[in-house]
Amino acid sequence: KFVLMALVGVGFSSAFAAGQGGWSMGGNIGFINADQDDMNKEIEAGGVGASKFGNAWEVNGHIGYRISGSSIGLSFRPSYFLYTEEKGTDTAFSMSGFTIFPMMKWYMLEDQTIKFFSQFGIGYGHMSGSIEEATNSVDFSGGSLGYQAGLGAEFCFARVHCVNVEGNLRFLGVERFTVDSVSGTLVGAGSSKITQDAKGKELEINDRDFAGSMSGVLAMVGYTLYF
């Protein structure tokens, strides 16, 4: 039994050692200061008692591979993006989404306990949202390509278990949304600024495309397992 544990430990140590190849997986949680200017304009106009959107929560998972004998790693990281639903008097506003980003990671400085890295990726983001005002409501969605880059560090214990922190700057704007479903119409209803909400058409505010954003500074903390 002792020999088996020793062999497993040696295997893990080899996979983790600086410059060695191997697989890793884990997850992160954090927030991003993405600005939802158009949604906040609609909340300001027709969302009686509702608060504007601020920071969004984001959670992701990742699986990666470190190229043997190099300082380069590759990872695949899907994420989920969520705002807390804002409600007012007979009103409700929500936005959420997901991203899929392949990332390239460069380990700039490392030893057996600390790894400093930079990373860059180009990926896809999809957002969906809803607006409810009195008896009228609209659901909409849209997507776009974007990119992100950042810096981070892994603080490791027991050789293969690491706590990681990272900060990323992401550029991913969704310039137009398509109306998925509508009940009644927000056009001309009360003080709403929505000027087009027909199903299958582009959602418009003040006679231009309604836009959303997944851009901003993304701060995260998480866990990584090397194996």
Partner residues linked to 93 by β-bridges: 86, 131
Structure confidence by residue, pLDDT tens digits, 160-191: 899 999 999 999 999 999 999 999 999 988 78
pLDDT at 144: 98
Structure confidence by residue, pLDDT tens digits, 19-53: 567 899 999 999 999 999 999 999 988 766 788 89
Which residue is it, tokens 């866990």?
A: 223
User: Cα angle at 183 between 182 and 185, to 5 degrees?
Assistant: 85
Label residue 118 exposed, middle or buried (CB < 10 Å: 0-12, 13-18, 19+). middle
Can you list the pairs that 204-207 forms with residues at least 24 positions away whose Cβ atoms lie under 8 Å?
Answer: 205/38, 205/41, 205/42, 206/41
pLDDT at 6: 38
pLDDT in tens, the chain (227 residues): 433 433 334 444 444 445 567 899 999 999 999 999 999 999 988 766 788 898 999 999 999 999 888 899 999 999 999 998 788 788 899 999 999 999 999 999 988 889 999 999 999 999 999 999 989 999 999 999 999 999 999 999 887 899 999 999 999 999 999 999 999 999 988 788 999 999 999 999 999 999 999 999 999 999 999 98
User: 2-226 sits in which CATH class?
Assistant: mainly beta
Label residue 164 exposed, middle or buried (CB < 10 Å: 0-12, 13-18, 19+). buried
